[in-house]
Amino acid sequence: MNTKLKKVTVALSGLGLLALVACQSMEQGTGQKASATLVSKSGSNAKGEVNFVWQGNDVLVTGKFSGLKPNAEQGFHVHEKGDCSSADATSAGPHFNPATKDHGMPNSGMSHAGDMPNIKSDANGNATYSAKLHGFTVNTGPSGIVGRSVVVHRDPDDYKSQPAGNSGPRIACGLIK
């Protein structure tokens, strides 16, 4: 093999290895699931069930809630710690934010991994929820939500106030497992 051909072969082999490493570093999931049962906190009656299903680069988040303020929006986030033991759910810690970004609009690329769209309740304080999100995974890895908590707040998230969207007290909390 001549020298020029060897250099091209080595360069192509290096590019192939680089492509393989890049593909391995992009986490994708196919059907991994997690769920959380939310219990009332801060003297509220709010409660709910949330499901997470990993679909490629996105996670489908669905839920059903009751005991919310009627005809209102409530902030909804994945929080850092899997601990809902305190009466006000502050034991759940701050929003899940492995990339150390500012708080912001979900799926904007400029937000915490745990930032999710607000929940919108009906006239009876009940809500169903569905959002397809990215920025986190359904596992226990560095960007994983399993073992963390999901929290409903009393007020709507404004998607801009730092560090948490000015969404008020935590009214329901559940461990993601």
pLDDT at residue 3, rounded to an integer: 54
Give per-residue pLDDT as tens, 64-117. 999 999 999 999 999 999 999 999 999 999 999 999 998 888 888 888 888 899
Write b or e for each residue in 64-73: b if 16 or more Cβ atoms lie within 10 A of its Cβ, otherwise e. ebebbeeebb
pLDDT at residue 19, rounded to an integer: 41
> Residue 62 domain-assigned?
yes
Cβ count within 10 A of residue 167: 24
Structural domain harbouring 159: 29-175
Give per-residue pLDDT as tens, 3-56. 554 544 444 444 444 443 333 334 576 789 999 999 999 999 999 999 999 998
pTM of the predicted model as reported, rounded to 2 decimal places: 0.82
151 by Cβ neighbours in 10 Å (0-12 / 13-18 / 19+) ranks as buried
Q: How confident is the model at residue 157 (pLDDT cuts 50, 70, 90)?
A: very high
Identify the sign of the CA torsion 89, 91, 92, 97: positive
> Residue 87 domain-assigned?
yes
DSSP 169: S
137 by Cβ neighbours in 10 Å (0-12 / 13-18 / 19+) ranks as buried
> Residue 64 domain-assigned?
yes
> Residue 15 domain-assigned?
no
CATH of the domain at 90: 2.60.40.200
pLDDT at residue 23, rounded to an integer: 38
> Residue 61 domain-assigned?
yes
> Residue 109 domain-assigned?
yes
> Residue 154 domain-assigned?
yes
Domain count, the chain: 1
For a pLDDT cut of 90, what percent of the chain falls above it? 67
Lateral strand order in the sheet of 29-40 = 115-120, 73-79, 149-153, 170-175, 29-40, 47-56, 58-66, 127-133
Cβ count within 10 A of residue 78: 27
Q: Is 166 left (phi over 0), alpha (psi -120 to 50) or beta?
A: left
Report in angstroms the alpha-carbon separations of 19 from 16, 121, 137: 5, 46, 22
Least Cα distance to 96 among 78, 108, 111, 110 occurs for: 78
Give per-residue pLDDT as tens, 138-152. 999 999 999 999 999
> Residue 167 domain-assigned?
yes
List residues bridging with 127 in a β-sheet: 65
Query: 163 or 129: which carries more pLDDT confidence?
Result: 129
Least Cα distance to 76 among 58, 88, 63 occurs for: 63
Residues with catalytic annotation? 77, 79, 95, 103, 112, 115, 153, 170
